[in-house]
Amino acid sequence: MEYRKLGQSPLELSAITYGAFAIGGNMWGGNERQDSIAAIHASIDHGVTSLDTAPFYGFGLSEELIGDALVGKDRTKVQILTKFGLVWDGSNEGKGEYFFDAEENGKKIPVYKYAAKQNVIKEVEESLKRLKTDYIDLLQLHWPDASTPIDETMEALSSLLQQGKIRAAGVSNYSLADVETAYKTLNLASNQVSYSMLNRSIEQDLVPYTTAHNIGIIAYSPLERGLLSGKYFADAKLKSDDHRNGYFGQFNPEKVKALLAALQPLAESKKASLAQLVLRWTSLQRGITVVLAGARNADQAASNARAMDISLSNDELQFIHKELAKLQ
């Protein structure tokens, strides 16, 4: 495993960071508690020291599972990354920016983006309880909230840094313009954004800026929710309430199949899976600090961690980029 410094923060994160969205269950067709905890333990056993979650994942369940999984572990050797700013319980009293309707047990639940100072403080206290800890290593705004001035949110994060309740502050899903505005108030540690072989738009403007200003990039959805593993072109089945039934529709299946077919021999030459090859490629791209990889059981978690064992030569990287150019 490689460990990388996150921007100007004191944090060193594992290059493969455990992504805990799926173990929350909602939008992913449910979860199995013991399998989820086993996945976290297997990640740690294979050198993954960083765990990324959010209150919204499972409406608190993902954070609770991480808290339970870390009981008895050396807290100083694990970095907890969580978020704030998505409210689903009505505590925002209609304030904030309406986002979408989530579903739980067939019931629609309105979700709001809400990053006002008082909500930031409230959510951190709730997360600390669920995570069974007294500090958060990296606290990130989950989504931009147009109803709250960016400087107000950044000031709340500055206050939490001074109090020692968080060790570093970041954002998620911020555009270049948003990052530039936030940076006027706070030296951000990171921006967590979607990035994959199929989605490289951040290379054009965001990565040059974050590289120049020493802001880390946390890449999420590097496998496009499992699509780039190749198994969904085989016999894998999705439950009816799995959001990927709609998510995968944005991609051209024939082009994705062709890409994976071209990459398969390279993966086999490395004695690796397609998923491992994709994760390793992602970790080697300019400006990418760490790569999030979700896992719902111990085998998946161990496999993700082993992706960092793969070595890719310049010629092999050039070959991959030539194949990616065919997606255009």
- By annotation, the residues acting in catalysis are 57
What tokens does 224 get?
A: 């496009």
Encoded amino acid at 165, one letter: K
C-alpha span between 190 and 107 (Å, rounded): 35
Closest CA to 20 of 85, 104, 102, 79: 79
Q: CB of 168 within 8 A of CB of 6?
A: yes
Give strand pairing partners of 19: 52, 294
First to last CA, the chain: 33
C-alpha span between 70 and 72 (Å, rounded): 6
Q: CB of 20 within 8 A of CB of 48?
A: no
Helix intervals (H) in 73-214 = 117-131, 150-163, 176-183, 206-212
What tokens does 185 get?
A: 């108030």
* Residue 28 host element (H or E): none
C-alpha span between 281 and 263 (Å, rounded): 11
